[in-house]
Amino acid sequence: MPALPDDILARISRIESQLRETTGRAQIRPPQNTAVGGDLVVGGTQALRVLKASGVGDQFLIGQDGGQRVARFYRPDGTIALSTVVQTTVWDGAGNPVVQDDPGGVGLGRPYLPMVAAPARTGDWLATTNATFEDVWRLSPIKLNPRATITIGHIADAATAGEVQVTVAGSPVGSPTTVGTSQTATTVGPFTVPGTLESTVDIRVQARRTSGAGSVRLAVLAASGFHS
């Protein structure tokens, strides 16, 4: 076999080196079902749809659907759990919306939250004449929020003074509030709600008379859970 020129041998060596480098890169690249170092982009009128393991039915869908930008997440049984179209909605297993933001763009649309009512006439408020703190109002909420607030209306009869305080699980929240002869509303909190999630919490609104011969009157005007 005749000798090959040096430039041909050099070319063959370079080709072999490039083949080895290409093969090595192919072995270390991420698998084709993994995105590393970049975004997975779905544009236009398309959507990212992830099917169940069976291949029938969606686990979730994000993108365009029916001309709208949507996101939908499904339970294993196929019922919808969470969706975002015009509103963000959490659905129960029967297909009823249980939590929604408001379509007007501000605040909560569902659920409808209860409000507290109290007598407008202070003479109808519960009262105490005790010289030591007495439970006048009691709340037993189930803990869902980490903190809470209570607004208390209070007033003392003529020539009488007193104090009001809130206790949670038997411990006072802060310092007592002075009660005078002018009708006043005091908000206590936000204070920490003790216990585990969904446990029952013992909250008391207490009052006492510190001077005079009349009564110290009070009403719970509002009570609400609060965020951290």
Comparing 13 with 115, the larger pLDDT belongs to 115
Which pLDDT band holds residue 150 (cuts at 50, 70, 90)? Answer: very high
Which pLDDT band holds residue 30 (cuts at 50, 70, 90)? Answer: low
- 153 and 221, same domain (yes or no): yes
Comparing 62 with 44, the larger pLDDT belongs to 62
153-197 pLDDT, tens digit per residue, is 999 999 999 999 999 999 999 999 999 999 999 999 999 999 999
What's the average model confidence in pLDDT over 132-142? 98
- 155 and 94, same domain (yes or no): no
- Per-residue pLDDT for 76 more than 60? yes
Per DSSP (E only), the strands in the chain are: 47-51, 58-65, 68-74, 80-84, 88-91, 97-101, 108-110, 126-128, 134-139, 147-156, 161-168, 171-172, 177-179, 184-192, 203-211, 216-226
The CATH number linked to 185 is: 2.60.120.260
Does 12 reside within a domain?
no
Does 176 reside within a domain?
yes
- 128 and 104, same domain (yes or no): no
Residue with tokens 């009660």: 179
Distance, CA of 113 to CA of 107 (rounded, Å): 12
Report the percent of the chain where pLDDT is more than 70.
Answer: 88
Does 42 reside within a domain?
no
Distance, CA of 74 to CA of 58 (rounded, Å): 7
Does 29 reside within a domain?
no
Give the count of domains, the chain: 2
- 126 and 171, same domain (yes or no): yes
- 70 and 140, same domain (yes or no): no
pTM for the whole thing? 0.75
Which pLDDT band holds residue 2 (cuts at 50, 70, 90)? Answer: low
- 90 and 126, same domain (yes or no): no
Query: What is the per-residue pLDDT for 132?
Result: 98
Domain holding 154, by residue range, is 122-226
